[in-house]
Amino acid sequence: MRCEQLIEDFLDAGWLNNQWSQNTIKTYKNELSSFRKWISSSRGKKLPNVTFEDITDFLEIKATGRVCTHNLRISVLRHFYRHLFQQCKIGRNPCIGLKSVIRQQDLPSVLSESQVQILLDMPDVGTQAGLRNKAILELLYATGIRVSELTLLELSNLFLPNRYLIVRAHTSKSNCDRIVPFGAIAAFWLTRYLEEVRPSQSRIQHALRVAVNLVFLGRSTAGGLSNRTCYEIVAFHARRASITQRVSPHTLRHSFATHLLNGGASLIVIQKLLGHKSAQTTQIYTHRAIARLHQVHARHHPRGELFANQALKKGRHYQLHHPNQPPDN
């Protein structure tokens, strides 16, 4: 069987059995195609004939990017060769013993509430493009949905009068439907976009016989808004807002979760809203919330960091191991 067909069969199985999203399928296909080309050109081998050493050499050559990208390649190869082994298309799994790189989990990049407010005020709602961008930014922050979930959102899954949307399983990493509410402000700008901007775009596409049921349409006549365009929209308005850190749609997702947690929402609720399979994935937001609590404690508590720093400047030494003994006067 041709190597290309092995890859296609693997992707079909992932879609049928695991309900992989289109983004996952695209990523897996790109990584496996890259590996197939390398193993063919550098080793003269086909995919079923590779060894553990071939795979580690490939990973070493490609290990110039981020750790998460490196671990993604490892995960793709593990899944692929486990599938081939289970289908009896290879006699031995060459990925046995292949380990991911352990890295310290980074805290998610978030914006403050004031930064988000400035960002949301940036689009020029007097123009069609600005009104569309305003609706996109408001919905991303109001719901915390992923960029792919936004660009694949269909009109039939948007319930404006009741202010909620449904993220369907085939557009989500969690592989299950979930209901996500949003507030009156996001509903207002979505309504304006749907009434004032989308009809003109829809008429053009209808004239070209392009049937698109997506909420957000692209400026071209090819169909819906692309993920890349959505990234560019967020980054453009972040620059206009003079936000120095890198801002993406996922930054708004992280900000959504962090601000909910700071406001008193439980981790279970946030987990459901974000569509996380595991509560451990949502736990990362507690680290930033705890850091924020430490800052507040340090500034306002009489025995906080500010008090300690002032005392140390005066030469006072606290006997931390003997808390019952007062500091020297």
Q: What is the CA radius of gyration of the chain?
A: 25
| Annotated catalytic residue 250 | yes
* Nearest by Cα to 140 from 19, 227, 15: 227
Q: At CA 136, angle to CA 263 and CA 28, rounded to 5?
A: 95
Instruction: Name the catalytic one among 173, 192, 240, 292.
Output: 173
Eight-class DSSP state of 127: S
C-beta atoms surrounding 284 within 10 Å: 16
Q: Has 285 been annotated as catalytic?
A: yes
The active-site residue out of 146, 198, 237, 288 is: 146
Q: 28, 81, 193, 285: which is the annotated catalytic residue?
A: 285
- The catalytic position among 83, 132, 198, 276 is 276
How many CB atoms are located within 10 Å of the residue 123 CB?
Answer: 23
Cα 96–Cα 99–Cα 100 angle in degrees, nearest 5? 140
**Catalytic position from the list 250, 272, 292, 318:** 250
CA 4/CA 36 separation, integer angstroms? 9
Catalytic hit among 70, 73, 253, 254: 253
Nearest-angstrom CA–CA distance, 233 and 134: 10
- Catalytic, 173? Answer yes
Round to the nearest angstrom and report the end-to-end CA distance of the chain.
Answer: 84
Structure tokens of 93?
């799994």
Any catalytic annotation for residue 287? no
Helix (H, G, I), strand (E, B) or coil at 160: coil
CB 189 within 8 A of CB 138: yes
Q: Catalytic residue numbers?
A: 146, 173, 250, 253, 276, 285
